Structure 1
Amino acid sequence: MLTLRPEDILLDCRAPDWRDALEQAAESLHRAGLTAPAYRDGLFQRETQSSTYLGNAIAIPHGTPESREHVLATGVRVLQFPAGVEWHDGQRIHVLVAIAAQSDEHLDILRQLTHVLDDDSVGERLAGAGSAATVAALLSKAQVEARLDADTLCLGFPARDARELALAGAARLRQLGCVGGDFMADVAERPLASLGQGLWLTHGERSVAVPALALATPDERLESGGEAVKGVFCLAAQGDAHRGLLERVLTLLDSGAAAELPSTDAATVLARLAGESAAAHTRLARVLNAHGLHARPAKQLVQVAREQGLPIQVRLAEGGGATVSASSLTKVINLGARRGQQLVFSAEGEEAQQALEAVCRAVADGLGEHVLPFDESRERSMPQADAAPIQPLPDDEPHPGVAASPGLAIAPVFVLQTPRFDYPERAADAAEQQRRLRQALVEGAAQLEALVQQARGGEVAQILSMHEEMLTDPELFEAAREGIQEGRSAEAAWWEAIETAAHAQEMLADRLLAERAADLRDVGRRVLGVLCEVTLPKPPETPYILVTDDIGPSDVARLDTQRVRGLLTARGGATAHSAILARALGIPAVVGAGERVLTLAGGQELILDGERGRVIPTPSAERRASAEQRLAEREQREAEAWQARFEAAQTRDGHRVEVAANLGNTTHAANAVERGAEGIGLLRTEFLFMAHAREPDLATQIEEYREALDALDGRPLVARTLDVGGDKPLPYWPVPKEDNPFLGLRGIRLSLTRPEVLETQLRALLMAAAPASEAADKPRPLRIMLPMVKDVGEFRAARAIFARLLDEIPAAERATDVQLGVMIEVPSAALLAPVLAAEVDFFSVGTNDLTQYTLAIDRDHPELSAHADGLHPAVLRLIEMTVAAAHAHGKWVGVCGELASDTLAVPVLVGLGVDELSVSARQVPLVKARLREFDLAEARTQAQLALAQATSEAVRDALEVR
């Protein structure tokens, strides 16, 4: 949806002619920081090629592909000309929507605008609008697309009655992510309505995410109350968005063509529901234009269609959209056809064949643009023909990525290209295809079981066991089986089921859950490899660094850690399962480094730094020697650190800095203690809430928290209260979808909307930390911290609940050594630290979020994440302010983000006065060892050196020189 802000709209503009209006448009884009001045030439060049007049007094000037290099950010500026301007094609405009687009986003903006062209009065209303809000409302009408396509059809289903067919349709919509579980219950409660001609209708309105229509037909003859049951439509209703689908069903019934639906294939069903009659002639044509059917080729198509002298309809072959008139420019543009998609043209009458031939020939010729042939197999995995070639990485220069698993590696690279799976889309023998798929699933499960046994427990085995469960998912198999029944091959049907499920997973707001789509595709590729008999190339027998586009968890688990020195991927994030497994296996990894890493040549030497998140191809002799020395020192340091892991954490001159562990699960507390952790500095309690279908009750929470406290045996536990919402939703705590979840309802601000949930958690933590009966005199230190606090008001609201619980719960039944603090994750909290410090018991700095909010960089952004560096001087200054405020009031400060385990950052943090460092359990011995390498005076010197720099790169350079 086009979202316009008041500042995007310029009212009451005046221009003597179109050139002056266009100059104003160019200047507005430049002033808004969207374009460089040179983009103006692209706007004028575009008008020489073709008018950008859209209709209804609206023009949409935008640059040429060559001018995109002058676009700084995608956006629009709307200029209103109440008196009107004569455009160069003779049309009169009242509104210019000036577009700055870095790729093809302008096509989406254009499609979002086409709805205003259906209203002939909109031009006059735009001219007379007296406020930016009115203009925005006229241009930004939200449109919800109702779904009907081959995936929503469930043909030939083995049902025993009409009710089973209705539920089969509902299940299909749920599998596609259109509806939730309440929709199934809604459908089950409603009676079926007979539509006539053997067709029936049921519907539901609860938990509808996307309005959609499913059709389920039986595999054999069925009756209900003496009436034939040839098919059941299942409608997911939402507002008025589904009205068009119902109208298409009613039109089909009126035509008398509905009776043929149950006995035909998916393509014919969609054709009839799209409005094509059985008497219509149809032809397919593939769009070859590099940027799809944008305004210029769409206009050419409309002209050709009008020349034929008879009505021609068109629709997208994929999906189940209604046919539209090929003579309507707005309707054709609104199809949103992209390169490679096929159009279905239809017409009736004696001249239909000839007319369709002319239209399809025009599409094949490019509709006035130069086009290249479409090679489907090639374009699946290669960039478009007009994309710039990927430049290889220069030798001996650092290239950034995302630090995913710490460690240093020096070795030749082995570049593993993503395997190609060549298979037919269609197959005749459905029974044979089902047999092949079942056999491939069995073999895939056997492979995974072997890997699980090889892993011998731990996170690797847990994730691979989850993959085994995915292979037995009945919904996945059922989706593939239905695809086979519709004529697809086992390979095509299986991969379509995987992609559908993976796409639904990617749509989740929770980034962690969305990244699990990689697990689905990993499982899918395993089965596809069995079906296609594809074997991966054999890696070298000597040590190597694996370089690949992306890697699945089972691929990581298969790695021979004796030979694989490191892992480098073009895609992926630090929270993906493959990254988690790399850390569990101790393999240094850099991920999300971009496509350029795939240009590395096999055998090319590489330095991979998993701590700094960078790689250096073909290093110089000096750089290699330095890296080798660092590697040798690291290996020796790791061995020595492990031996001394139980020694107190302190600097060389005896300054104590507590080193604790970050945990995402209470079951790992004992392991953290075994690794030398002096406590738990961050327990992410949301694991407990996300592991249950309903909110965990008081007893469940007490049991979980007590497990960690028991394992700590008197060491302190710092537990973060529930940190969900925004990008981490809970299924039983729905939160409205937000445009920017990282700045939305999350953390403490979400918990305070349901104080009873926060109260139960605080009560559970307090009661879990009560002294154990067998050691009543042994303390169980509990530190509770509140996430995402922006100011003292939020802290006071939570503290009021906390104080009341301390009064209500008898002292013998609750923690006696307890503190309440806040996380410093929001810059406002650091800036207000002097105010907060007067009331809180402690601070814990979450450097991951603090860095992202301070630098305005999403730490998981594929291109920018490497620049989200906690050693940026702005972040360090906020930490310095926090420590100074806390110490002035006698309070302690911890750091629980990734910066706490950064080798260069540790002395800086100590020098700033940080009292506690909380890191991953695996890093505890190394951080303790790092503390013993410097004294407090040196740390303070390094802290001041870092604060004096201008950028994070300068900070790291200055610290590395020392």
Structure 2
Amino acid sequence: MITLKGKSVFGGVAIGRLAFYKRAEPKIKRHHIEDVHAEIRRFEEAKGQALHQLQELYDKAMGDVGEANAMIFEVHQMMLQDFDYIESVKNIITAQEVNAEYAVGTTGDNFAQMFASMDDAYMQGRAADVKDISNRLVKILTGRAEGGIKTDEPVIVAADDLVPSETVQLDKEKVLGFATMYGSANSHTAILARTMNIPAVIGLGEDLSKEYDGKYCIVDGFSGTVFIEPNEEILRMMTEKREEDLRRKALLNELKGKENVTLSGRKINVYANIGNLADVGAVLKNDAGGIGLFRSEFLYLENETFPSEEQQFQVYRQVAENMAGRKVIIRTLDIGADKQAPYFHLDKEENPALGYRAIRICLTEPDIFKTQLRALYRASAYGQIAIMFPMIISVEEVRKIKAIIKEVKAELKETGIAYRDDVETGIMIETPAAVMISRELAKEVDFFSIGTNDLTQYTLAIDRQNEKLDSFYDPHHPAVLAMIKMAADNAHAEGKWIGLCGELGADLTLTETFLEMGLDELSVSPAMVLPLRKKIREIR
């Protein structure tokens, strides 16, 4: 038996086989070939196989997510049969006498660069499509496996760390828990584990060796311990610990349908944070009063190009309908920093957390922003949708947003498309600047929602993704709590409500403090809704 120690980011016990996340190797080697015609036949065979794969993906997507979301695979089939694309590959093979994968990779790069340089936003979006079909062909030609985890049974996912674009690709039903070499308590692996209500241990270091791939193991999320090939005694102890945890959760289920009210009669809304449509079931299962944070950027991260208005509308509409009148607060896209989508073509930045991200992208690229806003307002006709905007630092930004919203509403009205005119709009309070001018900001919006992850990061000048700084990162810091209190006071002074949707909302040691500050709503991962309700009902 091998015992590894790390840091716990979510409690619970997972027992199963370890499966290392495999990343596809992107490098393509160029080499000379003797038989040009044979190499072109290799390309044609790979193209046929890729078309077959895309048709299967289209058929599966039609059943899973509907025609609007499946269309991307039909587009990829059309591009793969484009005359200019095919001729370019064949010409490179013939003229340079090189291998097919090199010709495909070069053609993909050239076409992607051509699309990216166009002025039209739609055509720019095709750059990511042509890169994707080229990557698919290269994988077939080289026999390289897709990245991710390949398994028929649920497993414990191991990795150095996972970025958001990788976590969204995982089949959540096949994940029992996480074990990573690196990462911080605020990484997206940690946030995903809390959302999924599964145990996770990070910071295991190089001791988490790939030689353990496929080994039977236990993740103890309570103590931050991982056991590789556990002995009978440890297996018995951990099995009992898991059963006790399940019994505790069963007791919490008895709180379903109960109010979030203190012993002295103070009520507070308890909502849930989610990242995609699939998480709505967990929201309803855990009896949350609504959705306090729908991270819409994950819709962009799951896509290989900019999601269309129709695609977004279908997702937002389904969330609103599934929540059946309960409030759904959707945050506009927060791409940038640690959440990168290749087709945005964002420049590498020295300090991305302070860079071109979130509302700054939306206000600089209004076409992208308006597409999302149109989808949101169209979906508002089907439920109680509210919209909030991230990374706000000025009143002027809010006024620019309101002007764009006015344009979107006018366009929808002119074309006779239904929408609700009373959609609440709010902002994220996650910068010290927003806190300091929160009284003025409150005059412009309907509500605030405090994003404690970024607010802590910017207040303490600590990169929350840097695991070396975990011991310095203190979300209980008096300055952070003072900023939350200031924002709450200023919101109420202008008659507006205020919530908190950062990870700090699930810190039960601060629940009473938040109630004393006057917060009107706490939004947490679905798994923490009932524990938070229990805590609220015990406070006098």
TM-score normalised by the chain length of structure 1: 0.38
Q: Tell me, what secondary structure is at the counterpart of 1:696?
A: coil
| Corresponding residue number in structure 1 for 2:3 | none
Higher relative contact order (CA 8 A, sep 6+): 2
Alignment partner of 1:814 out of 419, 434, 444:
419
> What is the CA distance between 1:233 and its match in structure 2?
12
> What is the CA distance between 1:567 and its match in structure 2?
6.9
Task: Give per-residue Cα distances to partners, 1:118-176, cap 9 Å, x unaligned.
Answer: xxxxxxxxxxxxxxxxxxxxxxxxxxxxxxx99523455875268679999xxxxxxxx
Task: Give per-residue Cα distances to partners, 1:71-124, cap 9 Å, x unaligned.
Answer: xxxxxxxxxxxxxxxxxxxxxxxxxxxxxxxxxxxxxxxxxxxxxxxxxxxxxx
1:400-411 matched pairs, under 5 angstroms: none
Task: Give per-residue Cα distances to partners, 1:870-909, cap 9 Å, x unaligned.
Answer: 2222221211111111111111111111111112122222
| Corresponding residue number in structure 2 for 1:398 | none
Aligned in 2, Cα 1:164/1:574: closer, same or farther, shift over 3 Å? Answer: farther
| Corresponding residue number in structure 1 for 2:516 | 911
Q: 2:142 matched to 1:479?
A: yes
Aligned in 2, Cα 1:804/1:851: closer, same or farther, shift over 3 Å? Answer: same
Aligned in 2, Cα 1:876/1:735: closer, same or farther, shift over 3 Å? Answer: same
Comparing 874-883 and 584-593, the one that deviates more: 584-593
Q: Tell me, what secondary structure is at the counterpart of 1:785?
A: strand
| Corresponding residue number in structure 1 for 2:404 | 801
| Corresponding residue number in structure 2 for 1:666 | 277
Aligned in 2, Cα 1:188/1:878: closer, same or farther, shift over 3 Å? Answer: farther
Aligned in 2, Cα 1:233/1:644: closer, same or farther, shift over 3 Å? Answer: closer
Partners of 1:886 and 1:157 in 2: how far apart?
Answer: 73
Residue identity matched to 1:853: Y
| Corresponding residue number in structure 2 for 1:762 | 373
Alignment partner of 1:790 out of 388, 393, 404:
393
The alignment of Structure 1 onto Structure 2 pairs a total of residues equal to 424
Task: Give per-residue Cα distances to partners, 1:434-490, cap 9 Å, x unaligned.
Answer: xxxxxxxxxxxxxxxxxxxxxxxxxxxxxxxxxxxxxx976446325xxxxxxxxxx
> What is the CA distance between 1:234 and its match in structure 2?
6.6
Alignment partner of 2:289 out of 657, 678, 682:
678
1:379-528 matched pairs, under 5 angstroms: 475-476=138-139, 478-480=141-143, 520=148
Alignment partner of 2:98 out of 195, 198, 216:
216
Aligned in 2, Cα 1:232/1:570: closer, same or farther, shift over 3 Å? Answer: closer
Residue identity matched to 2:98: A
Partners of 1:849 and 1:738 in 2: how far apart?
Answer: 18
CA contact (8 A) 1:549 1:595 kept: no
Residue identity matched to 2:349: E
Partners of 1:571 and 1:674 in 2: how far apart?
Answer: 32
CA contact (8 A) 2:336 2:358 kept: yes
Partners of 2:395 and 2:104 in 1: how far apart?
Answer: 58
Aligned in 2, Cα 1:760/1:199: closer, same or farther, shift over 3 Å? Answer: closer
| Corresponding residue number in structure 1 for 2:15 | none
1:308-323 matched pairs, under 5 angstroms: none
Aligned in 2, Cα 1:473/1:865: closer, same or farther, shift over 3 Å? Answer: farther
Aligned in 2, Cα 1:234/1:591: closer, same or farther, shift over 3 Å? Answer: closer
Aligned in 2, Cα 1:594/1:876: closer, same or farther, shift over 3 Å? Answer: farther
| Corresponding residue number in structure 2 for 1:888 | 493
Alignment partner of 2:312 out of 676, 701, 724:
701
| Corresponding residue number in structure 1 for 2:502 | 897
1:186-197 matched pairs, under 5 angstroms: 188-189=87-88
Q: 2:353 matched to 1:742?
A: yes
> What is the CA distance between 1:863 and its match in structure 2?
2.3
Partners of 1:691 and 1:634 in 2: how far apart?
Answer: 33
Residue identity matched to 1:744: G
Q: 2:335 matched to 1:724?
A: yes
CA contact (8 A) 2:104 2:138 kept: no
Aligned in 2, Cα 1:165/1:792: closer, same or farther, shift over 3 Å? Answer: same
Q: Tell me, what secondary structure is at the counterpart of 1:790?
A: coil
> What is the CA distance between 1:577 and its match in structure 2?
9.1
1:341-360 matched pairs, under 5 angstroms: none
| Corresponding residue number in structure 2 for 1:654 | 265
Residue identity matched to 1:651: T
Partners of 2:377 and 2:105 in 1: how far apart?
Answer: 54
Partners of 2:171 and 2:308 in 1: how far apart?
Answer: 38
> What is the CA distance between 1:862 and its match in structure 2?
3.1
Residue identity matched to 2:356: L
Aligned in 2, Cα 1:233/1:832: closer, same or farther, shift over 3 Å? Answer: closer
Partners of 1:743 and 1:888 in 2: how far apart?
Answer: 30
Partners of 2:301 and 2:242 in 1: how far apart?
Answer: 39
Partners of 2:171 and 2:329 in 1: how far apart?
Answer: 35
Q: Tell me, what secondary structure is at the counterpart of 2:406?
A: helix
> What is the CA distance between 1:836 and its match in structure 2?
1.0
Partners of 2:463 and 2:375 in 1: how far apart?
Answer: 34
Aligned in 2, Cα 1:832/1:608: closer, same or farther, shift over 3 Å? Answer: farther
Task: Give per-residue Cα distances to partners, 1:14-53, cap 9 Å, x unaligned.
Answer: xxxxxxxxxxxxxxxxxxxxxxxxxxxxxxxxxxxxxxxx
Aligned in 2, Cα 1:798/1:567: closer, same or farther, shift over 3 Å? Answer: closer
Aligned in 2, Cα 1:792/1:164: closer, same or farther, shift over 3 Å? Answer: farther
Partners of 1:927 and 1:869 in 2: how far apart?
Answer: 21
| Corresponding residue number in structure 2 for 1:824 | 429
Q: Which runs of 5+ in 2 are unaligned?
A: 1-25, 46-78, 111-134, 210-217, 228-240
Task: Give per-residue Cα distances to partners, 1:640-691, cap 9 Å, x unaligned.
Answer: 3211122121222121110011111134324412321111101112233334
| Corresponding residue number in structure 2 for 1:688 | 299
Aligned in 2, Cα 1:593/1:911: closer, same or farther, shift over 3 Å? Answer: farther
CA contact (8 A) 2:196 2:527 kept: no
Residue identity matched to 2:201: V
Residue identity matched to 2:399: R
Residue identity matched to 1:875: V
CA contact (8 A) 1:897 1:918 kept: yes
| Corresponding residue number in structure 2 for 1:639 | 250
> What is the CA distance between 1:595 and its match in structure 2?
5.3
Q: 2:29 matched to 1:152?
A: yes
Residue identity matched to 1:889: E
Task: Give per-residue Cα distances to partners, 1:365-417, cap 9 Å, x unaligned.
Answer: xxxxxxxxxxxxxxxxxxxxxxxxxxxxxxxxxxxxxxxxxxxxxxxxxxxxx
Aligned in 2, Cα 1:217/1:697: closer, same or farther, shift over 3 Å? Answer: closer
Partners of 1:670 and 1:233 in 2: how far apart?
Answer: 41
Aligned in 2, Cα 1:670/1:159: closer, same or farther, shift over 3 Å? Answer: same
Residue identity matched to 2:30: L
Alignment partner of 1:928 out of 533, 537, 540:
533
Partners of 2:266 and 2:529 in 1: how far apart?
Answer: 17
Q: Tell me, what secondary structure is at the counterpart of 2:387?
A: strand
CA contact (8 A) 2:39 2:99 kept: no
> What is the CA distance between 1:933 and its match in structure 2?
1.5
Residue identity matched to 2:386: R
| Corresponding residue number in structure 2 for 1:35 | none
Partners of 1:640 and 1:752 in 2: how far apart?
Answer: 47
Task: Give per-residue Cα distances to partners, 1:709-731, cap 9 Å, x unaligned.
Answer: 11111111111112213443444
Q: Highest CA radius of gyration, 1 or 2?
A: 1
Task: Give per-residue Cα distances to partners, 1:497-548, cap 9 Å, x unaligned.
Answer: 57xx8xxxxxxxxxxxxxxxxx54x55xx9xxxxxxxxxxxxxxxxxxx998
| Corresponding residue number in structure 2 for 1:418 | none
Aligned in 2, Cα 1:832/1:591: closer, same or farther, shift over 3 Å? Answer: same
Residue identity matched to 1:827: P
